[in-house]
């Protein structure tokens, strides 16, 4: 590991933030350097601080602790990622004997010197008590490989020498802050302090000193570990099992089953859906097929900080049966055992500690699957990815630690303290009130056009992840870039497929499941139009329109059914029908008849899928024009003709359709999207219904 510090990059940060002091700018720069090294920190892990003297609004000098906000990712931290705290006051908290969670949170909250929605890092008091100007803290893999051993303290001394102190595990917060400060005062010559089972703190008067000490110490730990385990293979391959033959499709089915089995009722009584991340790197496949896999999965997190992301234990599937029924049964057993163990751990800890805590959901977040790799879950895709990154690192680190000597897992008591610490739980978004469709996955076909965009826009706003599909790939790319601009952190995937080809649709559902775990909301929206009177209608054209509008809807619904069945958590199909189904127009036979067919298929699906909790409803829009950003393909086609016949320009035509409806309303794509969200949110027990979005057209009232 080498220092990545260089003056030119530091200058870039100075220029980027001209309004902050260079000392703070350097804090941001070296924090980013650490954050971008996955061997030091992963996603929101680790924390940094700097102590500065600043004038307050009255012009009085004040000591300020700038400390990273909890959960903020060091890799792209900005000045807003730091909180400003009243250092003089925080230092005095050292005199307090005990500080419970709520009181510590409250003290940190009321001693902020600048408004910020962030919570201070759980290690804020430690940053306050240690007198050094700059402090850096990580949970570096190689440090943990050494500390999580029966002779951990000795190994750290051997590997890192006399200027690195080692302290036993102490709960983060006031106790750890006091212990670290006392150690530092005894030995001010120290360069770093290592906490068994937790991580490492380095410090210095300059940003570069503290950062480079981190690099230097971690580098020495890495070299020491590598030297000790050199020549030994990390794992012993199993000989009884191989990589699955139909790996890709099996992974898709397994993801759906796992996703469904881990969905659970949230505190508000509503079903919480999770997103699945699937990884099958060669290294992960090797670990999954090793004799050590069960031990590596069962030995828990390498630092308690990870527990809120991955839970303590990894669920291990030692083989994967191919038939659906056996696969479901296998997953059911594994989860049942996992849940039982989790509940036991929770009960044991609350009783031992005499605490009153509400149990978190007992479901696994990480599965290692023999011959398939890793599947992780999160309430958002981001959380699922974080869990995967951490689990991958932890598996390799634990494999190395096992070879090095005698890996000692962290005690349940320590893990519990961190898992049930309110400050730590705040990092997780699922504790907060959630948008209605959080954790759900929606597929929209025909997503390259105006209505598809409007639907995706509203689904994203409601918290769903969306998969855009269209045979017009440039349209979907454009839709994605528009949506990305409108929604920060939008979870958007593009999977192009041809709705007229059943095999292509089926393959797409597999791909969606490998990327996100499955699907909850299916919106068959792909459609084409053709203008011709029956007398002039080319039978081949008729076939084509039927193929997309009717057969495409049928194919999409049909291919989604096995996914819904495996997930076993219900779902919603919302077919984008048309006002023309009730109120057709001349020269529009191909479109109206094929849409009427699709509408009928949707009603049949409503009859057939109710037993598995899947609702099927229809939206019947009329005259949805596109906008400057994305056009409506239907109006691109029929618009010019109608403008000519009515002697109107484009805006005139829009106006004509607006005046045609009862409410004199312009119908927008997002109105269609709102109805999709309404149905998908399960607000009413409704299936088989049609919902007009047309401004009110008496001839098209559903009947």
Query: Would you name the residues annotated as active-site residues?
Result: 591
Q: With CB under 5 A as the contact rule, which of the stretches 185-193, 197-205, 513-521, 534-542 interacts with Zn ion?
A: 197-205
Q: What phi and psi values does residue 185 have, to the nearest 5 degrees?
A: -65, -35
Nearer to Zn ion, 138 or 553 (CB): 138
Nearer to Zn ion, 199 or 454 (CB): 199
CB 691 within 8 A of CB 620: yes
Query: Alpha-carbon distance 622 to 600, whole Å?
Result: 18
Nearer to Zn ion, 164 or 377 (CB): 164
Evaluated on CA atoms 589, 590, 596, 597, the torsion sign reads positive
Half-sphere exposure of 390 (CA within 13 A, CB side): 32
Q: How many CB atoms lie within 10 A of CB 534?
A: 11
CB 640 within 8 A of CB 529: no
CB of 516 to Zn ion, least distance (A): 31
For residue 434, what is the enclosing H or E element?
none
CB 660 within 8 A of CB 697: yes
Chain residues 316-355 in contact with Zn ion, contact rule CB under 5 A? none
CB of 111 to Zn ion, least distance (A): 21
Q: With CB under 5 A as the contact rule, which of the stretches 180-188, 199-207, 227-235, 626-634 interacts with Zn ion?
A: 199-207
Nearer to Zn ion, 199 or 439 (CB): 199
Nearer to Zn ion, 172 or 556 (CB): 172
Q: With CB under 5 A as the contact rule, which of the stretches 196-204, 261-269, 399-407, 515-523 interacts with Zn ion?
A: 196-204
CB of 198 to Zn ion, least distance (A): 6
Nearer to Zn ion, 177 or 315 (CB): 177
CB of 199 to Zn ion, least distance (A): 5
Q: How many CB atoms lie within 10 A of CB 22?
A: 14
Distances (CA, A) of 43 to 125, 185, 297: 22, 32, 21
CB of 303 to Zn ion, least distance (A): 7
CB of 201 to Zn ion, least distance (A): 9
Q: With CB under 5 A as the contact rule, which of the stretches 194-202, 234-242, 389-397, 636-644 interacts with Zn ion?
A: 194-202
Strand partners, 621: 693
Q: With CB under 5 A as the contact rule, which of the stretches 4-12, 20-28, 191-199, 360-368 interacts with Zn ion?
A: 191-199
CB of 159 to Zn ion, least distance (A): 20
Nearer to Zn ion, 197 or 572 (CB): 197
CB of 120 to Zn ion, least distance (A): 13
**Strands 275-279 and 373-378, how do they pair?**
antiparallel
Nearer to Zn ion, 410 or 596 (CB): 410
First to last CA, the chain: 71
Distances (CA, A) of 241 to 246, 273, 697: 14, 32, 64
Nearest residue to Zn ion on Cβ basis: 199
CB of 154 to Zn ion, least distance (A): 22
Structure tokens given for 656: 């004509």
Q: How many residues bind Zn ion (CB under 5 A)?
A: 1
Q: With CB under 5 A as the contact rule, which of the stretches 36-44, 50-58, 193-201, 540-548 interacts with Zn ion?
A: 193-201
Of the candidates 308, 436, 310, the residue with the CA atom closest to the CA atom of residue 385: 310
Buried b (16+ CB within 10 A) or exposed e, 99-122: bebeebbebbeebebeebebbbbb
Tell me the DSSP string of 45-113: -SEEEEEEEEE-TTS-EEEEEEEEBTT--GGG--GGGEEEEEHHHHHHGGG-S---HHHHHHHHHHTBS
Of the candidates 700, 488, 680, 450, the residue with the CA atom closest to the CA atom of residue 572: 680
For residue 633, what is the enclosing H or E element?
helix 633-646
Query: Alpha-carbon distance 75 to 46, whole Å?
Result: 11
Nearer to Zn ion, 118 or 271 (CB): 118
Footprint of Zn ion (CB under 5 A): 199
């Amino acid at each position: 590991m080498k220092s990545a510090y260089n003056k030119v990059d530091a200058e870039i940060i100075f220029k980027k933030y001209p309004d902050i002091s260079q000392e703070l700018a350097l804090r941001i720069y070296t924090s980013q350097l650490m954050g971008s090294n996955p061997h030091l920190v992963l996603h929101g892990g680790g924390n940094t601080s700097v102590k500065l003297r600043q004038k307050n609004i009255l012009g009085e000098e004040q000591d300020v602790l700038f400390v990273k906000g909890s959960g903020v990712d060091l890799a792209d931290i900005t000045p807003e990622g730091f909180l400003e705290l009243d250092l003089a006051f925080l230092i005095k908290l050292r005199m307090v004997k005990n500080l419970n969670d709520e009181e510590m949170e409250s003290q940190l909250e009321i001693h902020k010197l600048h408004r910020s929605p962030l919570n201070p890092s759980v290690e804020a008091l430690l940053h306050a008590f240690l007198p050094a100007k700059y402090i850096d803290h990580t949970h570096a893999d190689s440090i943990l490989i050494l500390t999580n051993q029966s002779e951990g303290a000795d190994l750290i001394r051997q590997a890192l020498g006399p200027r690195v102190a080692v302290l036993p595990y102490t709960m983060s917060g006031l106790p750890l802050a006091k212990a670290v400060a006392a150690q530092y005062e005894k030995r001010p010559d120290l360069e770093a302090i290592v906490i068994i089972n937790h991580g490492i703190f380095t410090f210095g008067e300059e940003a570069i000193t503290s950062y480079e000490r981190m690099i230097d110490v971690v580098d020495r730990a890495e070299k020491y570990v590598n030297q000790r385990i050199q020549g030994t293979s990390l794992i012993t391959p199993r000989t009884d099992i191989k990589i699955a033959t139909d790996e890709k499709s099996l992974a898709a089915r397994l993801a759906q089953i796992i996703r469904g089995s881990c969905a659970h009722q949230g505190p508000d009584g509503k079903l919480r859906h999770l997103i699945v991340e699937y990884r099958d790197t060669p290294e992960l496949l090797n670990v999954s097929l090793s004799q050590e896999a069960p031990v590596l999965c069962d030995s828990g997190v390498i630092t308690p900080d990870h527990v809120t992301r991955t839970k303590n234990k990894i669920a291990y599937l030692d083989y994967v049966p191919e038939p659906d029924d056996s696969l479901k049964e296998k997953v059911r057993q594994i989860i049942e055992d996992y849940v039982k163990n989790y509940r036991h751990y929770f009960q044991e800890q609350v009783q031992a500690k005499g605490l009153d805590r509400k149990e978190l959901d007992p479901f696994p977040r990480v599965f290692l699957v023999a011959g398939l790799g890793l599947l992780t879950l999160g309430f958002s895709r981001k959380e699922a990815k974080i869990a995967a990154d951490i689990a991958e690192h932890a598996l390799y680190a634990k494999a190395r630690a096992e070879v090095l000597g005698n890996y000692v897992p962290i005690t349940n008591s320590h893990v519990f303290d961190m898992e049930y610490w309110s400050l730590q739980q705040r990092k997780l978004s699922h504790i907060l009130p959630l948008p209605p469709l959080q954790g759900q996955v929606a597929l929209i076909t025909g997503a390259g056009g105006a209505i598809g965009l409007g639907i995706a826009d509203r689904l994203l706003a409601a918290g769903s992840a969306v998969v855009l599909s269209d045979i017009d790939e440039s349209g979907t790319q454009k839709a994605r870039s528009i949506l990305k601009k409108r929604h920060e952190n939008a979870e958007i995937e593009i999977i192009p497929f041809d709705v007229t080809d059943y095999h292509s649709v089926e393959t797409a559902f597999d791909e969606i499941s490998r990327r996100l775990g499955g699907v909850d909301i299916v919106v068959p929206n792909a459609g084409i139009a053709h203008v011709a009177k029956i007398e002039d209608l080319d039978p081949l054209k008729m076939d084509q329109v039927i193929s997309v509008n009717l057969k495409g809807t049928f194919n999409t619904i049909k291919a989604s059914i096995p996914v819904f069945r495996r997930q076993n958590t219900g779902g919603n199909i919302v077919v984008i029908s048309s006002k023309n189904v009730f109120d057709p127009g001349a020269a529009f036979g191909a479109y109206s008849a094929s849409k009427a067919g699709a509408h009928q298929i949707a009603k049949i699906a409503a009859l057939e899928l109710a037993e598995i909790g899947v609702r099927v409803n229809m939206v019947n829009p009329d005259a949805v024009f596109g906008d400057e950003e994305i056009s409506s393909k239907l109006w691109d086609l029929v618009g010019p003709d109608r403008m000519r016949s009515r002697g109107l320009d484009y805006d005139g035509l829009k106006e004509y359709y607006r005046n045609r409806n009862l409410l004199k309303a312009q119908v927008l794509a997002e109105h269609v999207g709102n109805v999709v969200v309404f149905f998908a949110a399960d607000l009413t027990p409704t299936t088989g219904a049609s919902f007009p979005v047309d401004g009110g057209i008496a001839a098209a009232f559903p009947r």
